[in-house]
């Protein structure tokens, strides 16, 4: 496994395994165990995923030492604000069965994010969190946060894939030394991405699949990809990306796929904000 160094000096694995939408408890436990066995060391969950307890059970069952794993969770909108966020993170620690969390992110740039970040900062100073950051923060929000807090976020987890390459976001995050993690690196299979001819032509040359080409493309852009699958053979495939490199020509070809549009929704629209905040009633 390769590692990246966050802006606070903490080492983080260069690729991660996400558990979004792995809703069945037993399946989530087994998927995390399989991922760890395949070589993953970064496990990404969230309060809103409803599977922190399943991840915690897998952590108790694995033979890999806790200090060799990097566990990330995220504070949901309904837990925003200093007091609620502080208590929710302690509950996440309890559900995960850990004495510290490697990284905690603000899941969405909504509600009292400043109060939430103060709680995260407090827990960071208490040694209960090793790194703090944000998720889904667009360039303007990221710049505001970086300049108005004593601790610059270590991570910004955003949608990045060949169809939404986030050029401006990468520029701003790099300016402030914030590591970008990519959720939905495969756009959840949309746009027939696994059969895309541009990616397939590159994959044919290097002897890799479209998925492996995408993950390598992200790594070469200094982005940490978070791939999800419950298929163990796919887990192995998604980790088999350290033995080849893409050329400048390959990178330029993939650049032509960019549409500058999300494959899901734009967090900056009022409709998206209303949609996300309406979910709070159901949490």
- Decide: helix, strand or coil at residue 27: helix
DSSP string over 147-159 = HHSSS--SEEEEE
CA-to-CA separations, 1 to 69, 124, 210, in angstroms, rounded: 11, 26, 21
CB 61 within 8 A of CB 35: no
CA distance 57 to 51: 10
Contacts of 32 (CB under 8 A, 6+ apart): 17, 19, 43, 54, 55, 58, 59, 62
Closest of 104, 112, 168 to residue 142, by C-alpha = 168
Tell me the backbone φ, ψ of residue 196, rounded to 5 degrees.
Answer: -60, 125
Look-up: residue for tokens 């030394």? Answer: 177
CA distance 167 to 180: 12
CB 99 within 8 A of CB 136: no
Q: Which of 40, 49, 117, 124 is catalytic?
A: 49
Q: Is 191 marked as binding a ligand?
A: no
| H or E element in which residue 223 lies | strand 223-227
49 is annotated as an active-site residue: yes
Q: Which residues are annotated as a binding site for substrate?
A: 107
**What residues are labeled active site?**
49
């Amino acid at each position: 496994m390769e590692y990246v160094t966050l802006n606070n000096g903490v080492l983080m694995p260069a690729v991660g395994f996400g558990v979004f939408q792995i809703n069945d408890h037993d399946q989530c436990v087994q998927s995390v165990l399989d991922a760890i066995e395949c070589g993953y060391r970064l496990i990404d969950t969230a309060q809103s995923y409803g599977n922190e307890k399943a991840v915690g059970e897998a952590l108790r069952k694995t033979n890999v030492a806790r200090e060799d794993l990097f566990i990330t969770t995220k504070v949901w909108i309904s837990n925003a604000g200093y007091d609620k966020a502080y208590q929710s993170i302690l509950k996440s620690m309890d559900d995960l069965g850990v004495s510290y969390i490697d990284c905690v992110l603000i899941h969405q740039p909504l509600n009292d994010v400043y109060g939430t970040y103060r709680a995260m900062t407090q827990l960071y100073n208490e040694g209960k969190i090793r790194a703090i950051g944000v998720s889904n923060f667009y360039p303007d929000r990221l710049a505001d946060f970086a300049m108005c807090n004593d601790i610059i976020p270590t991570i910004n987890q955003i949608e990045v894939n060949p169809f939404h390459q986030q050029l401006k976001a990468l520029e701003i995050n790099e300016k402030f030394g914030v590591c970008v993690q990519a959720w939905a690196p495969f756009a959840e299979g949309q746009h027939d991405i696994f059969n895309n001819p541009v990616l397939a032509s590159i994959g044919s040359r290097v002897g890799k699949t479209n998925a492996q080409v995408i993950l390598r493309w992200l790594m070469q852009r200094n982005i940490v990809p978070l791939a999800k699958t419950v298929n163990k053979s796919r887990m192995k495939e998604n980790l088999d990306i350290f033995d080849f490199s893409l050329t400048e020509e390959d990178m330029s070809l993939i650049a032509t796929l960019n549409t500058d549009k999300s494959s899901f929704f734009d967090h900056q629209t009022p409709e998206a904000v209303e949609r996300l905040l309406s979910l709070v009633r159901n949490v």
